[in-house]
Structures are given as C-alpha cells and as structure tokens.
C-alpha cells in the first residue's frame, strides 16, 4: 500500500507557511485557520449532509462551496479538510503535494505576454526576471499564484508579473527561447504549449 500524500503550504509570495510533511487533514486545517481565520462543520438537514463554514477575522460566517455526506461530524470534518488540501489553493495560499515532482521549478511571467525568468527556486526565478526586465521591482516581487486561479486571470487582464510553478522541461525551454517560450496553464503549474515541437 502506498504512503498517504503529504503537503506543503505556501503564501502569496511563495514562502512556506507550513510543511512539508503535513497530512491532508493537517494541511486543510492549517489553511482554514491561517492568519486568524476560523472554520466550522455544520449539518444541513435539508441537504442531508455537512457544509464547511468559514470566517476570516471578524467577518461574518459564510458557507463555502464544500459539502459532503458523512455518518458523523468528525468523519465530515476529516473529509472536508482533505478536500481543502486537494483544492491546491485556498485564499492566497497554495497547497502542494510533496510528491508532485512534475512542477518542481518556477517561472515569472507577465501574464498573457511573455516569460521573463525561470529558476529552480522562487528567488532564482524572480532574480532572473529582474535581470531580464525593465520593471525590476515588479518582477522581483511577483506574487506566487496558481495558473488557473482568479489571481492569475486578474494579472493577465492587466499584464502584471506573477510567479508560477513550472515543469523542468519548461524551464529548459524558456532558457533556450527566452521571452518567445510558449506555455500552457494547468492546475499544478505551467508547461510547454502542446503546439511546441521539441
């Protein structure tokens, strides 16, 4: 039997908040309580299942989109926390599986425009982008986002810099072709666009 997946949580700048080695339940709980946030699991008699409710700071409680059927509240909580971990992002946090070696590198892109820097670490990618851009400060402080998130879409609308995870083959491709590198967005990060011939 294979070992259960473990997770690492990073903030919007790509810095590790918790992990590596978190269980799905630990990762979900840490994400839901980050920066003073709270969560509750509530039974909904009309739906016959449990809803995940969240509150950030002093904001009112709101029902999230996560729901499950379970025999007990504890079972529901375990299921819902795992669902948060598997969601890959929560608020401005990214939640990555420790065994996901596919997206092991980083790229700084001007969303929707071009790639400006790549590296094996976030700092290396941001430094590379700063060296290759006239907008040094923006490239150096590019926020770390999921390429399928609303934050990425907003950045694409305004042609802003963002840092994303990428595959090693994209890193090599970008080092060869620079700003002309073509990419495709996936849930875990970016990779070479399918039309690119290697």
142: nearest Cα among 10, 16, 14: 14
Q: Is the pLDDT of residue 153 over 90?
A: no
Q: Which residue has the higher pLDDT, 14 or 7?
A: 7
22-39 mean pLDDT: 95
The pLDDT tens digits of the residues spanning 114-127 come to 899 999 888 899 99
Res 1: pLDDT: 39
**Which letter does DSSP use for residue 4 in this model?**
P
Q: How many CA atoms lie within 13 A of 126 on its CB side?
A: 16
Asked which of 15-29, 138-152, 158-172, 183-197 is least confident by mean pLDDT, the reply is 183-197
Confidence of residue 148 (pLDDT cuts 50, 70, 90): confident
Among 29-33, 117-121, 187-191, the range of highest mean pLDDT:
29-33
pTM exceeding the 0.75 threshold for the entire prediction: no
53-80 mean pLDDT: 94
Structural domains present in the chain? 13-97 (3.30.160), 105-192 (no CATH)
**Which letter does DSSP use for residue 129 in this model?**
H
Ordered DSSP codes for 53-96: EEE-TTSPPEEEEEEE--SSHHHHHHHHHHHHHHTSEETTEEEE
72-94 mean pLDDT: 91
């Amino acid at each position: 039997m294979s070992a259960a997946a473990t997770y690492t949580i990073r903030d919007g700048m790509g810095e590790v908040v918790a992990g590596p080695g978190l269980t799905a339940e630990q990762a979900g709980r840490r994400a839901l309580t980050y920066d003073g946030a709270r969560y509750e699991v509530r039974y909904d008699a009309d739906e016959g299942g449990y809803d995940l409710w969240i509150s950030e700071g002093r904001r009112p409680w709101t029902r999230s989109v996560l729901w499950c059927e379970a025999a007990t509240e504890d079972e529901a909580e375990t299921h819902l926390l795992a669902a948060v971990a598997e969601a890959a992002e929560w608020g401005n946090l990214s939640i990555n599986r420790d065994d996901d070696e596919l997206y092991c590198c980083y790229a700084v892109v001007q969303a929707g425009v071009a790639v400006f820097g790549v590296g094996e670490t976030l700092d290396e990618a941001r430094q590379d982008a700063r060296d290759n851009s006239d907008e040094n400060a923006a490239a150096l402080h590019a926020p770390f986002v999921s390429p399928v998130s609303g934050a990425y879409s907003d950045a694409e609308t305004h042609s802003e810099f963002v840092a994303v995870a990428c595959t090693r083959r994209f890193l090599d491709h970008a080092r060869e072709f620079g700003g002309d590198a073509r990419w495709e967005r996936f849930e875990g990060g970016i990779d070479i666009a399918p039309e690119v011939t290697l």
